[in-house]
Every structure is written in structure tokens, then in C-alpha cells.
Structure 1
Amino acid sequence: MGKKVLVIDLDPQTNATLMLIGEEKWFELNKKEQTLARLFKDAMDPDNRKFNLEGTLQKQVSDVGAARTIDLLPSSLDLIDVQDKLASAPAGKFYAANPIDLLWRAVKGKLDDYDVVIVDCPPNLGIITLNGLRISEGYIIPTIPDHLSTYGIPQITTRIRDFSEAISETIEPVGIVATKYQANSTVHNNVLKQLREDADLPDVMDTIIRQANAVAAAAEFQMYSRTLKQKYGAELAGQYDDLAREIWSALEA
């Protein structure tokens, strides 16, 4: 779509990072501490700050040839250990070093350079996720449409609403995205119907991402350039394209 996109990977699993730059490049950056883990480590040792935004920002990432307007702030497995320690980080002069503002302080000067910023958060609402929500105007909940995967959605929406009110910033639900959907599953179809009929939940987006082996295969970064259809297959690439356009329409609205 020609949009300039920044991906901020806050998930310690580093999936978004590995898909966009590959394991070899990530290992190199992680060794030099050019990941977001360094940003959060600095909060616990403010006299020894090492995070450098320009050095950490990876430009024109992705092995999809047409996607040359994507930049990335990579994640690190080190975030697993960092998150539990952030609550006890020094408050700083005048108690200004709020642990939920760490990411915002680091990237606020860059955000207006992009049409859209996608923050990939870990599957919890801890301090690192709150850092992602702090800079966000909306959020998307991807879920497998089964009972266990969707059980916590009401709690997620309630807590994000409470957080939004606490910081006096609007964070609206963009929608729920059903993923790994199996059309022949009675459970998936029944849960999807329940999600759509529940007026207390965010709207379920029209685009559904079906279960496909191509998703697992696409996770392997290739050094050569390829098309979206070559990466995911024609059907799945079409679904992702539809989803991107649906999300963009929701954001514009």
C-alpha cells in the first residue's frame, strides 16, 4: 500500500524480529545490545545508559521485495528477565522516570515519520506491554477462535480501558482478528459466532486468517527477495492483504 511502517517488537519471543531480519542479523544486533532490551536495562542502571535509537533502528527490513518501507526496532530474549525488574527501577529526579514511559520517551521524536506504527506485545499486560499501549491509539487482539484462547478477552479490554483512563489517553479497540481458523471445526464456528454477537467485546474483523502450513514455512527469513504470494501462497497472501486494508480503513475512520 506504500505506507511507511515502523514495527516495534516488544515480545521476548522475537517472532516479528526474526521474520523481518532473520536469525543471523538478529544475533549480531543482540550481541551488540542494539535491541529494545538495552532501553529497558538502562532504566535499571541510569548512570550507565547505552541505548542508541539510530543504531538500534533497522531500516528497510523484510524479505518481501515490495515491502521496502518497513523499519524495525528489534526485540531480544533478554526482555524475559528485564520485565520483572522494571517495577523497582529508580524513579529518577523529581520522580520523572515512570517505567511505563520508557518507550515513549525513546521514540516520540520518530513516530511522526511513519504512517502507522505496529507494536508487537507479549501475551500479558505487564510493564513492557503497558509501554506499547502508552504510545498507541488503538489495539488489535489476534486470537484462535476456541474457548481457551478467547477466555481472557473481556479482562484484556477492561484493563486496557482502565489504563487508558489512568493516563488520560484514548486507546480504542480496532478489533479482534480470528486466526488459525479451521472452517471445518464446529468449535471455531460456534466461538466465532459468539464473539460477533457479544456486544461487550470489540468488533470481530471481517477478514479471517485460515490455518495453513504456509504460515510456519513463511517464518523462515530468506536472504533473497520474494513476493508476498511466494512467501505465503496466493490464498493466505490475499487474506493478509485484505486484513491490512481493513485495518487501515478502521484507522482512517
Structure 2
Amino acid sequence: MQILSVSSLKGGVGKTSVTMGLASAALHQGVRTLVVDLDPHADSTTGLAVARGTGTEAGQLLRDAKRANLSDHVVRSGWVDLLPQEHRSDATLDVVVGSALSAAFDRPDIRPRDMRRLRLLLLDRVTGYDLVLIDCPPSLAGLTRIGWSASNGVLMVAEPSLFSVAGTERTMRAIRMFSNEYAPQLKSAGVVVNRVRADSAEHEYRLLEMERLYKDKLMLPVLEENPFWQQIQGAAYPVHQWPSDQVRDLARSFDQLLEQLV
């Protein structure tokens, strides 16, 4: 089972969008997937068409980590119901729902034993998934540390901008330090560059800078800005099921990224 934390220490770069794009690709390819929504804003939960108030939310499960069986509390994504009838029975896309209650664990001084709560839930009591995607908050406080402690790798999300490049460098340093101190299994899975505009000289410059800084960690293809993407997320719809040819290239890009991660 591949467990990836989708992270950025800078907000607003589309971290949740990338999580949902990869979840859509996984559903399309038949990869059995669990999305853990650790962000107190719970945008992944909403985007995956899970009704608020459904299931046991992440904060409560973290509190009950020693007793809870995670498989009893996951909720099926509403995306599965959008598949053709003959494919639904074989599809697996489940969600550990997020809510503001999980913010109780988002402390900068979280104890090492609390960092291991999600790892206990995932590794000891969950089977049947090929991929787990953990949507982390955009900070290095308690919830991100909980996600990283449970993960094999951190998938970083960046934009081709000065502040995002600097934030990604900070994230890479933080992963190395965290791995050395708390999670020796943790590696940098790669950097996904989001919202790239092909006609922007600044974006072209920043992409060249990222190639130089991140080398083999920079994942291709980059995700080009798409005017339909916001509409798709607003509809809580998988990009692979969206009835428009204008997003076909975007869906294919997520397919290619997923194949490198799983």
C-alpha cells in the first residue's frame, strides 16, 4: 500500500485540487484508493461528493486511534455513483471525512506519540487499498506531522512563482529533518507543478528554476491552467467523467502522474 501525503507549506497552490485529480485518475484506472482529509477546511471531503456529517470525521478517529477500526468509518465517494453501472461494484474510492474538529490536533507542539495516531489506524487496521492520499493542511503543525508520520512519501505541490518555489524548498528541508528525527521511511515522492500558463514568461523562467533546483524530483507533465477546472471542482465532479473535450488533456496529465506514483 502506497501512502502519500499531499503537502505544501504555502497555501493557495492547489494542493487539494491535485489530491482530487489524482483520486479521479485512480478511480478511472481501477486503483483502490482511500483519501484521508486532514485539512480542517475539509475541501477534499466536499470535492469528493461526500455530504458533511456523514461518517466519523478524522479528528474523532485520531482521538480513538487505539480502539477504532478505520474500515468501519470510511465513506464511499459520491464519484463512484457517476461511473457506468457495470463498473461500480469493482470501484473503490473511500474517504475519511474532514471537519474543523481535527484542528484540535493542529498544534505546533504536538507530542511524538500523537504523531503516530494515523499511522496506527492505517498500517495496523486497514487493508484493501492500493493507494492512500492524505490531504494535509498548508503548514508544518500537528496535522501535517501526523500525515507525514503515516506516509511513505510526501508529494509536494507548487506553482511557478517565486514564493511557491521558496516554499517548496522549505518543504524539502522539513521532510529531510522530519524523516531523520521521526519517520525514517518518509521520502520526497516528487514535486507537482500546478496552474502553469504556457504564455507566461515568468512561468517559463520559474519552471527552468525548478528543474535546476529539484532535478529528478520535478514530476512531468506539469499541470497547465484550465478554465474548466474550477467549474469541475465546484460541481464536486471527477475530471475524468466531465462531459467536455476541453479537459481531456488535464485528465491525461493526472493519469501520467499517477502511474509514476503507484
TM range (shorter): 0.7 to 0.9
Q: Give the distance between the partners of 1:143 and 1:236, measured in 2 at CA.
A: 21
Match of 1:13 in 2: 41
Could you list the per-position Cα deviations for residues 233-253 of structure 1 after superposition, in whole angstroms to 9, with x for gaps in the alignment?
4343432333333333344xx
Residues of 2 paired with 1:234 and 1:126: CA distance? 40
Cα deviation for residue 212 of structure 1 reads: 2.1
Computed over aligned residues only, the root mean square deviation of the Cα atoms, in angstroms, reads 2.9
Q: Normalising by the residue count of structure 2, what TM-score does the alignment of the two structures yield?
A: 0.75
Task: Tell me, yes or no, if the aligned pair for 2:49 and 2:78 is still in contact at 8 Å.
Answer: yes
Is the partner of 2:134 in helix, strand or coil?
strand
SS at match of 1:118: strand
Q: Which amino acid in structure 1 is aligned with residue 136 of structure 2?
A: C
Counterparts of 2:131 and 2:30, CA distance in 1? 11
Secondary structure of the corresponding residue to residue 141 of structure 1: strand
1:229/1:202 Cα in 2 relative to 1: closer, same or farther (>3 Å)? same
- Give the counterpart of 1:213 among 227, 235, 238: 227
Structure 1 unmatched ranges of 5 or more = 89-96
For residues 77-133 of structure 1, what are the alpha-carbon distances to aligned partners after superposition, in whole Å with 9 as ceiling and x for unaligned? 223344238737xxxxxxxx8010111122223444211111111111111111111
Query: CA shift at 1:143, angstroms?
Result: 1.3
Q: Which amino acid aligns with 1:217?
A: Q
Structure 2 CA distance for partners of 1:104 and 1:228, relative to 1, 3 Å = same
Secondary structure of 1:8's partner?
A: strand
How many angstroms apart in 2 are the aligned matches of 1:168 and 1:149? 25
Q: Shift of the alpha carbon at 1:214?
A: 1.3
The match for 2:58 is 36
Q: Quote how far apart the aligned CAs of 1:3 are.
A: 1.0
TM norm structure 1 = 0.78
Aligned to 2:160: 145
Question: Is 1:70 aligned to residue 116 of structure 2?
Answer: no
Residue 106 of structure 2: aligned partner: 83
Distance 1:130 1:227, change over 3 A: closer
| Aligned AA (2:49) | I
Q: Which residue of 1 is the match for residue 249 of structure 2? A: 238
Quote the Cα distance in structure 1 between the aligned partners of 2:134 and 2:69: 19
> What's the secondary structure of 1:155's corresponding residue?
helix
Aligned to 1:115: 130
Change (3 A) 1:83 1:59: same
8 Å contact 1:19–1:220 — kept in the other structure?
A: yes
TM-aligned CA deviation for residue 75 of structure 1? 0.7
SS in 1 for 2:61: helix
1:195: Cα distance to partner?
Answer: 0.2
**What residue in structure 1 maps to residue 13 of structure 2?**
none
Which whole-Å CA distance do the structure 1 matches of 2:124 and 2:194 have between them? 34
- What are the within-5 Å matches in structure 2 for residues 171-250 of structure 1? 171-199=186-214, 203-221=217-235, 228-230=240-242, 233-250=244-261
**Native 8 Å contact 2:36 2:97 kept in 1:** yes
Where in structure 2 are there 5+ consecutive unaligned residues? 1-28
Post-superposition Cα deviations, 1:37-92, rounded to whole Å, max 9, x if no partner, equal: 2134558xx9xx8x66345301254264267321111111223344238737xxxx
Higher relative contact order (CA 8 A, sep 6+): 2
Give the distance between the partners of 1:226 and 1:100, measured in 2 at CA. Answer: 31
Q: Any idea what SS the aligned residue of 1:169 has?
A: coil
Q: How does 1:91-110 map to 2 (within 5 A)?
A: 98-110=113-125
% same residue: 20
Retained in 2: the 8 A contact 1:5–1:71?
yes
User: Whose Rg is larger?
Assistant: 1
